[in-house]
Every structure is written in C-alpha cells, then in structure tokens.
Amino acid sequence: MAEAQSDEELASLTKQGHKQAFNELVNRYEAKILRYGRRFLFSYEDVRDAVQEVFIKAYVNIASFNTSRSFSTWLYRIAHNSFINVIKKKKREPLSFFDFDTFVQFAVASPNSIEEDIFAKEDQASIQAALQALSPKYREPMILYYGEQRSYEEIGDIMHIPIATVGVRLKRAREQLQKILNNQSVKPTV
C-alpha cells in the first residue's frame, strides 16, 4: 500500500472492502495505540488485548467513519472507549458518572502557555509512575497532550468533553503531577 495515501483514503478503501488498506492502517497506528494504552493502562495486564480490541472495533465499525474527518481522532476515540471499559471492568479506579469539569464554562488556557514537554525532559520511569497516581480523568489528557501530541480540540473530540475542560484538566493534572514528583524528590520542569 502506498505510503503517500492518507489515513482517510485508506479508510475509504477499507470501506470498499480492501482489507489490505486496513492492514496498512493497523501498521501505521499499532505502535501509537499500544503506547497510549501502556501509559493509560500502566498497571493493567491486558493492554495488548485492549489494543487488539481497538483495531477490531475500528474494522467492524469502519462504515460509520466519516472520511471527511480525521481517522486518527476517530481511532483514538475508539481506543479511549476501550481503555475506559478495561478500567470499568477491573473496578480498580473510580470513574465518576458525573463530572463537574464538564458542567460549566471555563476559560481556556492557551496551549502555548502550557509548559515544556515534561515527557521529553523528565525521567520517563518517574513520570510514568507519577502519572499512575493521577485519576484516569487527569491522566488521560496528560498522555494525549504530552505523550501523543494531540491538540486540545482533538483531545476534546477523543474524550467527548469541551475544549475548555481539556485545559482545566491539564492544568490540574500538571499541578497534581508536580506535587507527586516533588514528593518523589524529582524536580519537574513544570
């Protein structure tokens, strides 16, 4: 399959029944989704199964994909749902039904005002360990923004939350992360 073809073109071909086109999409995204899964479901054993499930769901539901939109955001949305289902099934971390963050309007912190990429600067092991101490609602936007380089808008579309809420969660997550890292005597750059 030609590298030049966009994700959306490959998705369109998959819709027409070209299985090879989907294989190419799996090849392109397998490492990214696995990385996202490993960071989000750090303490869970069945990350590989969950990732496999993501691609199977994507293939089964490919007819519902709107090729005028971003395939990667659509795939990350499926991954988000699958990973949240894993957390729900294991019942190890509480997931609230109602979240006040999504209830009212917050001022959006500009993405440019976000500090430097802590994922790049800090010791990966300590960052990963500190992330696990965050609740899933704060951990996930951190992983998507810093780890997967997703924009606020994309994170909002992946998590189905307002863009302003993405900013609020990132801000609170960084504050919590900083506290955790300070307690671990690791000075973060944030």
Partner 1 sequence: MTEELIKKDEIVESIEQKIASGKINPHTRWYFFVRTVFLILATVIGFCLAIYLGSFIFFISRVQQFGKLAGFGWPGFQKLLMSLPWVILVLVAVLIVGVEKLGSRLALVYRRPLLYSILFIVLVVALASELVESTAVHRTLLDVAQRNHVPMVGGIYRHFGRGSMADVLYAIVKDQAQTTWLVSTDDQPELKIMITPKTQFIPGEVIQIQDHVMILAHSEGPRVFAIGIRKIAPELVPDF
Interface positions with partner 1 (CB under 8 A): 14-15, 19, 22-23, 26-27, 30-31, 34, 48, 51-52, 55-56, 59-64, 102-105, 156-157, 160-165
Residue (55 or 130) nearer to partner 1, CB? 55
Smallest distance from the beta carbon of 102 to partner 1, in angstroms? 5
Smallest distance from the beta carbon of 11 to partner 1, in angstroms? 11
Smallest distance from the beta carbon of 113 to partner 1, in angstroms? 21
Smallest distance from the beta carbon of 45 to partner 1, in angstroms? 15
Residue (73 or 184) nearer to partner 1, CB? 73
Residue (14 or 176) nearer to partner 1, CB? 14
Q: Can you spell out the DSSP letters for the chain?
A: --TTS-HHHHHHHHHTT-HHHHHHHHHHHHHHHHHHHHHHTTT-S-HHHHHHHHHHHHHHTGGG--TTS-HHHHHHHHHHHHHHHHHHHHT-S---S--GGGTS--PPPPGGGS-S-HHHHS-HHHHHHHHHTS-HHHHHHHIIIIIS---HHHHHHHHT--HHHHHHHHHHHHHHHHHHHHHTT-----
Residue (17 or 94) nearer to partner 1, CB? 17
